[in-house]
Amino acid sequence: MSDDTVRTVERVELLTAETSEGDQELKRRESTKTTELGREVGSVLRLDGHGFDPNSVDYERRDDETMIINMGPSHPSTHGVLRLMLELDGEFVLRTKPVIGYLHTGMEKTGEELSYVQGATNVTRMDYLSPVINELCYSMAVEKLLDIEVPERAVWIRMMMSELNRMSSHLVWMATNGMDLGSTSMMIYGLRERELILAFFEKTAGLRLNLNYVRPGGVAADLPDGWQDDVLVICDTILERTYEYDQLLTGQPIFRQRLVGVAPMTAEEALALGVTGPLLRSTGVPWDLRRTMPYLAYDQVDFDVIVGTFGDNFDRYAIRLNEIRESIRIVRQCIDMMPDGDYRSQDPKVTPPPRARIGESMEALIHHFKLFTEGFHVPAGEVYMAVESPRGELGCYLVSDGGPKPYRMHTRAPSFVNLQAVPLLMRGGMVSDAITVISTVDPVMGEVDR
Amino acid sequence: MIALSPSAPPGIPTSEAHCADLCCFPAREQYFDLIESFKNDDFEMCVDLCGVDYLENLERALPRGVVRTRFEVVVNLLSLSKRQRVRVRVQAGDDDPEVASLFSLYPGTEAMEREAFDLFGVLFTNHPDLTRILMPEEWEGHPLRKDYGSGRVPVQFKEAPGPR
């Protein structure tokens, strides 16, 4: 054997070691604990009290009959860097295990090092499809600790912007879901409509994606002149287009065959797994925080909570499509009912002095400087705030020790929890159904890994 | 709008300061039974579970009778039928943080407990698969602990002499 051959073999072993996630991976049946096997096949959920029945797992199957393959982390239909390990029997999925963390950037640790003023720029990058709602959740938690009131106009601006954001997030979902199922034209249409909303975001906040628009104390800027016309055009155009999507997809036989009756889930399973958002509503549970635990001014607007029946892929599709229409209803009411007034709190503790004052007053300049270097101090305490993001309950748990930075900032990411439903939904389905399951669960990996 | 507030079993310190939710402070031994009693009391969902390291804030305000420890595990429960939340803050220990796993009550806590283990090193008894979830398997230490420094990447300016 020549030296070259030896070196090649060593190199191959090294590469294998580098890509291994060790114990986090899906293990072979013979080396898997009984409870864990039960968890992975979903049988833990199907029993009273979630006890575990050993008889529900098929132990007879030997390892040499099945095959474990990786889907991802760079598979195009895993929406980022989700890695799924699938145990396959031919074309059928027996066990699934999501392996996550490929996008982990320690944002909760970063959150402890940024002041409360800077914090919004951090959380807006978590769920990058619904940045406004992330900022909103964080800002509401800070405001609750500070015990300050936000002006009425700021509340309504926040509500309108989060509904526009919900529309844009669901439109991206419609687009990617269409692409996953082979309808590439839907991909183009979904992103085209989203562009209208992003253009309005740019006009209002100056940025398209990570806006840093909602901040503790209010919003960063007032709505631009003539915003009513812009928003009306968005509402009219997108509402009309949703009926075109109906024509393109909803009744389309191939599309329906891929979705109807595929990967159903019961309400009991969804509750046990802590699943929220459209996934939970698809099982028939009418739980939407905007309605059931109203925040902002959601108790003053008229909208319906869309609920499914069967908890299958088609219900999840229909819920998201109709939620776009409900968001349009809310946005239209926001246009009519938008109050006048300040767009941010006038409490000098959190709000910097107006730009014009800084030029003529030394105190105003110092105040501005202190606010943006040191930040404001927040009374000691802890708080959990939850809002309804397009993916489910988005929570922010803040602990303050009285300083200008959060002592602990934890985000309850809906995608992170919803991802636990994937092994249950995929079991017994085909590999092609696995793609639709990832798509309809709609995980955003930035939020899963944080 | 809010119905009757939930009540904790006697013998467990509670507080409602600074937040609308009821907050319970069980000891490690009471933790699992308390959560089980809440589950039987129509709290169908465990929405959130996370760890907190109070190394730099050991003298935090807690109700009388609670023995302060360095680590806390914070659980947020939700009752859909009563539209209520309740928060449980269990004192998880100083050097050997360990609490019971809630997996048998709420299977959805599986990933959240793995996250708390990964980032804080809190052990969960009877968890089916307590491995790291966000960090690589061979990672040393638990990054969200307060004595774990965060990394810095030195900034290389164009004019500054340095390796090319």
Task: State the Cα–Cα distance between residues A361 and A305, nearest whole angstrom.
Answer: 51
Binary contact (B137, A24; C-beta < 8 A): yes
Label residue A372 by pLDDT band (50, 70, 90): confident
* CATH numbers and ranges of domains, chain B: 14-125 (3.30.460.80)
Chain A residue whose CA is closest to B86: A384
Contact residues for A103 (Cβ-Cβ < 8 A; gap 6+): A80, A81, A445, A446, A448, A449
Q: Give the gap in angstroms from C-alpha A23 to the nearest C-alpha of chain B.
A: 7
Identify which of B47, B57, B60 has the shortest CB distance to residue A274: B47
Chain B residue whose CA is closest to A38: B128
Within 8 A of B131 by CB-CB distance, chain A residues are: 22-24
Identify which of A108, A293, A412 has the shortest CB distance to residue B48: A412
Chain A residues 277-316 with CB within 8 Å of chain B:
285, 287, 292-293
Identify which of B19, B74, B108 has the shortest CB distance to residue A272: B108
Q: Report the mean per-residue pLDDT for chain B.
A: 82
Within 8 A of B80 by CB-CB distance, chain A residues are: 271, 285, 287, 292
Angle (CA) A179 A278 A120, round 5°:
90
Binary contact (B50, A276; C-beta < 8 A): no
Binary contact (A410, B137; C-beta < 8 A): no
**How do residues A135-190 score in pLDDT, each as one tens digit?**
999 999 999 998 898 999 999 999 999 999 999 999 999 999 988 888 889 999 99
Label residue A50 by pLDDT band (50, 70, 90): low
Within 8 A of A51 by CB-CB distance, chain B residues are: 104
Q: Is the peptide bond before A73 cis (omega within 30 degrees of 0)?
A: yes
Chain A residue whose CA is closest to B62: A381
**How do residues B78-132 score in pLDDT, each as one tens digit?**
999 888 888 898 988 888 888 999 888 888 898 999 999 999 999 998 888 888 8
Binary contact (B56, A22; C-beta < 8 A): no
A278 has pLDDT over 90: yes
Within 8 A of A108 by CB-CB distance, chain B residues are: 119, 144
Q: Is A371 left (phi over 0), alpha (psi -120 to 50) or beta?
A: alpha
Binary contact (A106, B46; C-beta < 8 A): no
So what's the pLDDT on residue A201?
A: 93
Contact residues for A104 (Cβ-Cβ < 8 A; gap 6+): A449, A450, B134, B135
Binary contact (A108, B105; C-beta < 8 A): no
Residue bearing tokens 């995980």 = A443
So what's the pLDDT on residue A59?
A: 57
**How do residues A289-337 score in pLDDT, each as one tens digit?**
999 999 889 999 999 999 999 889 999 999 999 999 999 999 999 999 9
Which of A382, A398, A447 to probe the B interface (max B CBs under 10 A)?
A382
A4 has pLDDT over 70: no
Chain A contact present for B128, CB below 8 A: yes
What's the pTM value of the predicted model, to 2 decimals? 0.89
Query: Could you give the 3-state DSSP secondary structure of residue B127?
Result: coil
**How do residues A102-130 score in pLDDT, each as one tens digit?**
888 889 998 998 999 889 999 999 989 99
Chain B contact present for A102, CB below 8 A: no
What is the b/e burial string over A285-300, where b = at least 16 CB atoms within 10 angstroms of the residue's CB?
A: bebbbbeebebbbbee
Question: Exposed (0-12), middle (13-18) or buried (19+): which is A91, by Cβ within 10 Å?
Answer: exposed
**How do residues A6-43 score in pLDDT, each as one tens digit?**
455 555 555 555 567 777 888 777 777 777 777 777 76
Q: What percent of chain B has pLDDT over 70?
A: 82
Within 8 A of A38 by CB-CB distance, chain B residues are: 128
ipTM: 0.85
Assigned token pair, A41:
């096949």
Chain B contact present for A106, CB below 8 A: yes
Dihedral (Cα; A271, A277, A278, A280), 10-degree rounding:
10
Count CB atoms within 10 A of the CB of residue A202: 13
Phi, psi (5° rounding) for residue A161? -65, -35
Q: Cβ distance A259 to A312 under 8 Å? A: yes
Chain B contact present for A401, CB below 8 A: yes
Which of A23, A24, A26 to probe the B interface (max B CBs under 10 A)?
A24
Identify which of B50, B133, B137 has the shortest CB distance to residue A397: B50
A324 closest CA partner among A387, A239, A209, A208: A239
A78 has pLDDT over 90: no
Within 8 A of A387 by CB-CB distance, chain B residues are: none
Dihedral (Cα; A203, A238, A165, A214), 10-degree rounding:
40
A334 closest CA partner among A305, A300, A306: A300
Binary contact (A144, B19; C-beta < 8 A): yes
Chain B contact present for A18, CB below 8 A: no
Task: State the Cα–Cα distance between residues A56 and A37, nearest whole angstrom.
Answer: 10
So what's the pLDDT on residue B3?
A: 36
* CATH numbers and ranges of domains, chain A: 15-99 (no CATH), 107-412 (1.10.645.10)
Query: Could you give the 3-state DSSP secondary structure of residue A385?
Result: strand
A65 has pLDDT over 70: yes
How are the residues of chain A apportioned to helix, strand and coil, as percentages rounded to the nearest 5?
55, 10, 35
Chain B contact present for A275, CB below 8 A: yes
- For the ranges A72-76, B44-48, B145-149, the lowest mean pLDDT is seen at A72-76
User: How many Cβ contacts (< 8 angstroms) between chains A and B?
Assistant: 131
